[in-house]
Structure 1
Amino acid sequence: VIVVGAAAALELCAPAAPVLPLAGVRVGLVGTPAFTERLARRLEALGAAAVPCMTARVRPLPPQPGWERLADGRSCWVVLTSRNGVGCFFDALAAARIDVRRLHACRFAAIGPATAEALAQRGITADLCPEQATGAELARALCAAAGLGEEILLFRAAESSPEMRGILTAQGFSVREYTLYKTEYAAASPNAEADYLAFASAGGVRAWFSACGAAPKGAVCVCIGPVTARALAQQTGAPFLTAEDISAEGVAECILRAHRHKKAQEE
């Protein structure tokens, strides 16, 4: 190949691939596929390697007695606290042979934007969604929004915290609780090397420490929010991180900030 004239000054090599901000970082994941798959996509886009360390399987439970309350025409609040819960709720409606059009008197509350999005995909816009995606914030928002005599129906996981129900009953609301599913955890790669270990729930924290006893050596734990952080603080005295935004994107951003801070200190 002979290059003549001004073309000889051109760079003919392929440009170097950009160095992504989390290149070389390994992040262990603990949670259900609905969470870990979203987080893995975000982390891998930033250059990190996402490693499932403990997976959670959602086992739907059969509808409990009392589901006919939803379709009796009396005003009530239907409260859903996860994307998984939304899926199980509509599956249970079908199993109980309840036509969704009979829920015209129900108003829907979602614990956060991910749950509200899952509801929207089913054709229902959440009537209530608190700014912070925690059970306590949702309970306080319900106390302000629910009318006198409106019953509140909680649809959630078997292992859910009693905090939300406690706040509502303390304010005099009538609350019914229905168990939609049980979350079952299984170790995938408990001995994997990781720089960070991300937890999507308090249940995941308890399951991990029950099975493994400690985080991988050298790994910094990252919690999706304050409820998960409280559960982790009960298990370890080691420093850990808590995402500002309760979402997969919030966890990824928390890891990105921590890694940049660590690199700046090393330099």
Structure 2
Amino acid sequence: MQLPLSGKKILNTREALQAGKLTKMLEESGGAVFEVPLLKISCKITNENKSFIQNLSRFEWILFTSSNGVHCFFKLLSQCNLELPNLHIAVVGHKTEEALKQYGYHAELVPEIYDGENLVQEFLAKYKVNGKVLLVQGSRARDIIALGLKEAGIPYEVIIVYENTFNDDAKVTLKRLLRTKHFDYITFTSPSSVEAFMMYQDGVLRLQTNPVFVCIGKTTEDKAKELGLTNTISPSMYTIEGMVQAMCETTK
């Protein structure tokens, strides 16, 4: 029996430490996968952040917007020999919740649609917040949650626990592959990965025969369209599993 992605060439642009899982799933579905990590993730274990988390009990809620944020936040706690006090926790989606469980905690809120806009909407609709909210983010996070809290009059603070930077080392490899391979699918797991791709491809994309740009969710897809990539798809469930399923379904 032929696998659904047999004969399909796929460019996986996910950050290096996270790319392997997506590649494995795509290969198990028959795809030929080329990894070009367009972003670098590095935790911010700074003195400023260490000082910030010394009194987490001043917060009522903590909101995590990515699994990277969870891992870097708990790495910061570990470096400071601290434990998370008894706070209410909300996360942006299922994968972020899975990361949280690795540290022995669970989320009280996971929105039905996994993005910041729905997280803040459901959070404000379901809970009466009496104290301050801590928003844990990366350096390129959108301000949609902060704006929602501000408009609702809820006091909050933001801690940036990781840097999300473009991987300049990927530029040469990306351009070479775009010149020599004709990809059926190119994957994006964040708006930042779309931005990096458009900057690094530097006009070489026009050599491609109309690949499908597979975006992890609506926010990423909106960024792709904004930057001129019209042949896009995104899954109903905003996960890498959903991305693979969406690709398989387009081949039927």
TM-score, length basis structure 2: 0.88
1:203 corresponds to 2:192? yes
Q: CA deviation at 1:34?
A: 5.1
What amino acid is the match of 1:99?
Answer: E
Residue 58 of structure 1 corresponds to which residue in structure 2? 41
Residue 39 of structure 1 corresponds to which residue in structure 2? 22
Distance change in 2, residues 1:108/1:33 (3 Å): farther
Q: CA deviation at 1:55?
A: 3.8
Q: Secondary structure at the match of 1:31?
A: coil
What amino acid is the match of 1:203?
Answer: S
5 Å-filtered alignment, 1:167-186, equals 167-186=148-167
Q: Secondary structure at the match of 1:178?
A: strand
Does the CA-based 8 Å contact 1:35-1:200 persist in structure 2? no
Residue 255 of structure 1 corresponds to which residue in structure 2? 247
- CA RMSD of the aligned region, Å? 1.8
5 Å-filtered alignment, 1:184-223, equals 184-186=165-167, 187=170, 189-190=173-174, 191-192=176-177, 193=181, 194-213=183-202, 215=205, 217-218=208-209, 219-223=211-215
Does the CA-based 8 Å contact 1:157-1:180 persist in structure 2? yes
| Partner Cα separation in structure 1 for residue 83 and residue 95 of structure 2 | 25
Does the CA-based 8 Å contact 1:157-1:183 persist in structure 2? yes
Residue 53 of structure 2 corresponds to which residue in structure 1? 67
Residue 236 of structure 1 corresponds to which residue in structure 2? 228
The percent of aligned pairs where both chains have the same amino acid is 24
Of the three residues 194, 214, 237, the one matched with 1:245 is 237
Residue 118 of structure 1 corresponds to which residue in structure 2? 99
Any gaps of 5 or more consecutive residues in structure 2?
none
1:96 corresponds to 2:106? no
Distance change in 2, residues 1:55/1:138 (3 Å): same
Structure with bigger helix share is 2
| Partner Cα separation in structure 2 for residue 211 and residue 226 of structure 1 | 23
What amino acid is the match of 1:26?
Answer: K
Q: How many residue pairs are counted as aligned between the two chains?
A: 238
Q: Secondary structure at the match of 1:177?
A: strand
Does the CA-based 8 Å contact 1:139-1:167 persist in structure 2? yes
TM-score, length basis structure 1: 0.83
Does the CA-based 8 Å contact 2:59-2:133 persist in structure 1? no
Distance change in 2, residues 1:228/1:28 (3 Å): same
Of the three residues 198, 216, 221, the one matched with 1:224 is 216
CA radius of gyration, larger in: 1
